[in-house]
Amino acid sequence: MRKLLFLLAAGLLVVILAFRFGGGSPSDPPAGDVSGESDGDPGDRRGALVDEVVFSQESDVGKVAGLIEGGSHHVFAQGVTNNTVFNRLRDSSRADYEQAYGTSGELTLNPAGPELDTGELNPFAVREIREAMNWLINRRHIAEEIYGGLAVPRTLPINTAFPDYARLADTARALELEYGYDPERAREVIREEMEALGATLERGRWMYDGRPVRLIVLIRSEDARTRVGDYVANLLEDEGFRVERQYRTAEEASRIWIGGDPAAGRWHAYTGSWVSPVISRDVSDNLSFYYTPRGRPEPLWQAYDPDPELDEIAERLQRRDYGSSEERRELMARGMELAMRDSARIWLVDQVNAIPRAENVELAADLAGGIAGSRLWPYTLRFRDRIGGRAVFAAPSLLTEPWNPVAGSNWLFDTMIIRALGDSPLLPDPFTGLYWPQRIASAEVTVQEGVPVERTHDWLSLEFAEEIQVPDDALIDWDGEASRFITVGEKHEDGVTARTRTRVVYEDDYLERRWHDGTQVSMADVVLPWVLNFARADEASSLFDPSHMPSFEVFQRHFRGWRIVATDPLEIEIYSDQIFPDAESIVAQRTPSAQPWHTLALGILAERSGELAFSSNKADRMEVDWMSLIAGPSLGVLRRGLETASEVGFVPYANVLTEHLRDGEPEARYAALADWYAERNHFWVGDGPFYLHAVYPVERTVVLRRYEDFPDRADKWLRFTRPRIPEVVMDGPMTVTPDDDSVRFPVHITYDGEPYEAEAIEQVQYLLFDGDGQLRHRGEAERGDDGGWHVDLSREELAELGFGANSLEVAITSRDVALPAFASHAFATVPAGTQLLEDDL
């Protein structure tokens, strides 16, 4: 018996609609030639390889293949999970697709209550009822029937396609068995807890205070989640609840489950979906993000009240407060157990998404986030047959939430566009998740001895020290009253130590670059984001935002100071107790990014005046608009702020920023911003390979243009093409007996039909399960003399299995790609002398 095993993973999100325009209004002709019929070498060009990118909204996935085959669209940003559309893409000569493995589907449950502001009962306020939902739902049905096999069941708060799932395979499998489909168990728990709440079951319907217990299921209408929502609603109706189904688009749903107060009773369950835009090599902060108020500033997250032990473990993992890999593993294992008891979310599936594109289009897609999550798509997007041209993208939702750089939209397709407008100091490898330098020349990471950190790339160095003393002149805190930073020497007379020191040296010309409005980057652009982080946590500040506090408090627990070492070239040191398993990730998390201080200044003025707010939470509390730099009523407020700032030469936090400004910089910045706004009617200024040319909120259309002064050669990131994902098959006998001294199970690991290089294999781990699904043994496969791999099970290991069916599983991790590959082989242990005919199987 042979089983070819599967890659576990998941993907991203989708769609496209075209316009032939370049500015003014949707009916206007292009401003200049963007037809791009030129040939040439990508290395002869600077910046983007296309001249213009048009984004428009299209929520009908059924149109995708036809739009691409017809030539009106080139990329659909969301992954396809519709079998009909997928088969058409697969068989098309004009359309193709990328695959991604970072999208997860789940059921978000409202934890408010148990009695809501409406007086109605919310059963999901009870942890035990939330936990019981795991047994009520058949995840395999969702993966195979609703997603048509383009998904795999997911039970835990870690993606099945990422390295941590393989590292925690034994814990994961045990929890998956514990929380497998068991509707009778779910029914017993629900009945017991509902009666404890004071509800009664009358004629098969739950009643509370004389009324039926109503559950509102908020169902996304654009994709397979419509059927998922109906399936869940049916299950809840079968359990005796009165279910109200509300079908909503992303924007419509967002106003309810994210923007609204969960205690208001407008929803009870939401068909959620999350995308990891990059391969996450360390998902230990998932527990904080999904189960505690530290995850996001919105009201739903602030309503979370996790078990104290879960909260402590989540916070420790978010800070990476552990001394060894084994301690991390123990924290992760215990945290997952507690998260399953909490079940603020019921994880359903990890999707295997196909992201449609035209056959003649190339771009770097991330193995987790696909095209929409890729940080490299703006740097690599091109037509195979020409340089330049206009590319048309579609997405199921655009401009879903307001854009601002402090606490603006976190929606996938908004952030996809925003990434193209900025130029991060480091960019993640789309296949491994490890970071590469983009605007830094080098980095040095020093870690306290004994801390589990390793380095892969040679663009950075990694050293270990017995003690890391933080310099007295490093900046560690903020004095809001004096509007200045506090040094380590002032706050800690006896000094302070850190677990890590990160020294980053930027490119020589980092401070010579230009923002899209033509103004020159300065140190003020680097410093102001640091100030804002502290000012928004200062209760005496007009910028104070309570929703910022959970994440700031975590930051404060691990932050140990930063300082500017030099400015020519720019060199910065950051001290922290927070670690990551990869030194590359430490550099990426610590390296400050510049933001144009003059656009932030307008937002600061607007929030100080009480007219706008950076975050949705504060906007709701102040009863003002959530700030948008690109559209809506915010523009009038920001325009008036620009006039005021220009008149007085406003510099926010002048005590700190003035020394970092060039002569005449405020006047030059505001004059350039005024010209920018007059021409484009928005305030979004960046430094990426594209600039924001036009925004059409009513039409849900966004136009990007190539930034011609971008410093890099256009072929800089073109080396990222096809990922080398291992293909795995495991062989072995179908029956074994207790008399066998040992049994060998060959493991064949290949790529494109050729053996996978052994040097590229990081680990081949095996798990042995008995017929009851209990893990009996785990270990490492061995490499044979022929270059292949095998698992040898000893007589003692086989004897523990007893008689019956068993399963041997292997998890393979590669250094070339971060997605683990899996294979399994089923076999039976039988008494000596027993023979099974092929028909018996």
For the chain, domains (ranges, CATH) are 1-101+356-422+688-722 (no CATH), 103-111+118-281+346-351 (3.10.105.10), 426-686 (no CATH), 724-840 (2.60.40.1220)
Q: Is the model more confident about 567 or about 19?
A: 567
pLDDT of residue 751: 87
**Count of CB atoms situated within 10 Å of the CB of 126:** 20
Amino acid at residue number 372? A
Strand partners for 370: 366
Average pLDDT over residues 320-342: 93
Q: Which residue has the tokens 């941590």?
A: 164
> What do you get for the CA distance between the two ends of the chain, in Å?
9
- pLDDT grade, residue 833 (50/70/90)? low
Average pLDDT over residues 787-791: 87
Q: Is the model more confident about 681 or about 298?
A: 681
Average pLDDT of the chain is 89
**Among the listed residues 453, 502, 510, the one whose alpha carbon sits nearest the alpha carbon of residue 474:** 502
**Among the listed residues 716, 724, 801, 730, the one whose alpha carbon sits nearest the alpha carbon of residue 757:** 724
Q: Which residue has the tokens 């946590």?
A: 537
Under a CB-based contact definition with an 8 Å cutoff, are residues 661 and 392 in contact? Answer: no
pLDDT of residue 303: 94
Query: Helix count (H) and strand count (E) of the chain?
Result: 25, 40
Long-range contacts of 528-533 (CB under 8 A, 24+ apart): 528/595, 528/597, 528/600, 528/652, 528/653, 528/657, 529/592, 529/593, 529/594, 529/595, 529/600, 530/475, 530/562, 530/592, 531/478, 531/652, 531/653, 531/656, 531/657, 532/406, 532/600, 532/604
Q: pLDDT of 256-279, one tens digit each?
A: 998 899 999 999 999 999 988 778
Average pLDDT over residues 594-599: 98
pLDDT of residue 619: 94
Dist. CA 315–CA 45, nearest whole Å = 46
Strand partners for 366: 370
Q: pLDDT of 357-377, one tens digit each?
A: 999 999 999 988 889 889 999
State the sign of the Cα–Cα–Cα–Cα dihedral 316, 319, 323, 329.
positive
pLDDT of residue 621: 92
Average pLDDT over residues 403-416: 93
Q: What is the CA radius of gyration of the chain?
A: 28
**Among the listed residues 749, 750, 762, 740, the one whose alpha carbon sits nearest the alpha carbon of residue 817:** 762
Q: pLDDT of 44-65, one tens digit each?
A: 899 999 999 999 998 887 888 8
**Residue 226 burial by Cβ neighbours in a 10 Å radius (0-12, 13-18, 19+):** middle
Tokens of 408: 């603006």
Q: Is the model more confident about 17 or about 228?
A: 228
pLDDT of residue 5: 30
**Among the listed residues 166, 114, 149, 112, the one whose alpha carbon sits nearest the alpha carbon of residue 821:** 166
Q: Is the model more confident about 767 or about 20?
A: 767
pLDDT of residue 695: 97
Dist. CA 647–CA 146, nearest whole Å = 60
Q: Which residue has the tokens 């998941």?
A: 10
Strand partners for 448: 465
Tokens of 785: 């003399």
pLDDT of residue 7: 31
Least confident window among 38-42, 165-169, 371-375:
38-42
Say whether pLDDT at 841 is over 80. no
Q: pLDDT of 423-444, one tens digit each?
A: 999 999 998 889 999 999 999 9
What does 772-833 look like in DSSP terms, one character per residue? TS-EEEEEE-EE-TTS-EEEEEEHHHHHTT-SEEEEEEEEEEESS-SS-EEEEEEEEE--TT
pLDDT of residue 759: 84
Average pLDDT over residues 828-838: 66
**Among the listed residues 630, 12, 36, the one whose alpha carbon sits nearest the alpha carbon of residue 392:** 36
pLDDT of residue 357: 93
Under a CB-based contact definition with an 8 Å cutoff, are residues 445 and 457 in contact? Answer: no
pLDDT of residue 6: 29
Average pLDDT over residues 112-128: 96
Which percentage of the chain shows pLDDT scores above 70? 94
Q: pLDDT of 626-646, one tens digit each?
A: 999 999 999 999 999 999 999
- pLDDT grade, residue 738 (50/70/90)? confident
